[in-house]
Structure 1
Amino acid sequence: MVAELVACMTMLLVGVAEAIHARRCRRLAPLAFGPRRRPAAWVYSAPLFRVLALGALAWGLVSLLQLPPRVHQLLQQIPESETKHLVLVLDVSPSMRLQDAGPDKQKSRRQRARDLMESLFERVALPEYKVSVIAVYNGAKPVVEDTRDIEVIRNILDDLPLEYAFPSGKTDLFSGLEQAARVARPWRPGSTTVLVISDGDTVPATGMPQMPAAVGDVLVVGVGDPIAGKFIDGRQSRQDTSTLRQLAQRLRGVYHNGNAKQIGSSLLERFAGGSGGSSNDKLTRREYAIAAVASGGSVYALLPLLLQLLGTRWRPGVPRRQKLQREREQRVN
């Protein structure tokens, strides 16, 4: 309220000063504007611009004076009500070691999953997220829960041999989804995004777990060549795009083929910004105050220059054309 009161008082004083200034200008109008005694039409709005500019300047400066200084940190404290959660369900079965992924098909599927996650980390507001990782093979094991330390996630993605934590067997992707649902159940509704990265090698037709209310979105990302397969364990393994797409539909999510393309910006806007956008994008009183100071100061500084250049068409003194004509007459004589 103090800033608003100071701004109103400033505008009132400036308005009185402008009224006094206008009365004096009317007396000096023949000297300032010539025989017509009138400036350009836009000049009549100059007093209003000055009043508004100085009011905005006063409000912005007082607001900034009242606000506590902002300390910029790498990881800012995000209120629990604004914290988002990302649950990564990562397929770590031996088929994810096959090298047929990426645009050049020279990377393993695990390496392609790491590249996709690195691209995601670079384009989302990480301080707003707590990340959990669930490893899936013939069962599911939570590797880390609710961490803000992205280096821990990078270490997990960097070819950590998680498959040795499981006995040999068939991939059970649904167990990872069940574990993700268990981890996310206590969280705020709609605050969680479940990201599944798999080659879809073996997905059962029944037994789909139900996601809790905390899960707002599900993104299923496939890795591996969907056309030419690689042999492993006596069978041919390839990315099963139809199965993964069906899995995403059953979870009411979206499927993305990440083998050749990164996760698109439109998907990131939906999933990373689905809970109202980044808090860094929200305008606070500080941003409005800075904008008021910048705009008010700029208008008040530019007005004198505009009045000097464009305030009137009348120019005192002998017109240049008449001056040149007199000089020619003097030369002739």
Structure 2
Amino acid sequence: MQSRRAGNVLAAFSFVLWGILPLYYQFLPQANINELLALRLIFSVPVMLLVMLLLKRPLPNVTELLADKKSFFMCGIAGCIMSVSWYAFTWAITHGEVLAASLGYFINPLFAIALGMFFLREKLTKAQVIAVVLAILGIAYQVWQYGELPWLSLLMGSFFAIYGLTKKYIKYDALTSVTIEAAILTPFAAIYMLWLYFSGDSVSLTSGTSTFLLYVGSAPVTVAPLIFFALALNRTSLTMVGLMQYIEPTLQFLLAVFLFGEVFDHTKAISFSLIWAGLIFCTLEALPNLFHKKRKVALPN
């Protein structure tokens, strides 16, 4: 029970860290997202290796990794997919679109449900069907009112869900997988940064030490919640993790409306409300299973 409680705390903490990430990126308004992504990839690898040493986890063995070619290949695919989601997310929170980021992660579980149905042949429950329908209605209402799709939100939500699906085909442990995903893309990121440096077009390398450190800092501040999340997965249930994931977009929503002063108009209120209603249905459906599992664990005592 103590392990499960620790897992719940770690999971909640990881989502809180993700939720307050927009606060960090307020120091980089209108940032060059290409450089942010490149430096995040480059410095994520040493950060992850350091974490493994601190946690006394074995460092990745190249021979063993290459023995599982499918997992290695899927790590490359996962890294590319995650980069798209992270690129959209970072652009949103550095360009006054934190509400779009919040919406993206609110609809992410619904994309995950749809992918599970189509690719893993999972059957939808009644609550999940209702949630998907309400989400479609919420997005459709925005399109009708604004005359355009909420591309940023859809990009973040869909690609993060695809990333989760891809991870199911990777047999490496969570920390190793994340390290390999970044390591595979690091050479491309390094070549890009060298090209910017020699062409004199780099923002991070020519704007002073503090700006450069803020760009580099995007690696540890985004890797930290991922580490706590990975540690939580082995200590708590996926159901609890699924319920806690709403902490992140909720905090982003509160920051956007009450701290950053983004406009939350009538259209967004109706759209968000429809999506929230669907998520409430899914949450209420999952709660009995969660409590049942807790009682089941407690019986031997």
Coarse TM-score class (shorter-chain normalised): under 0.3
Q: TM-score, normalised by structure 1?
A: 0.21
Greater fraction of residues in strand: 1
Greater fraction of residues in helix: 2
Higher relative contact order (CA 8 A, sep 6+): 2
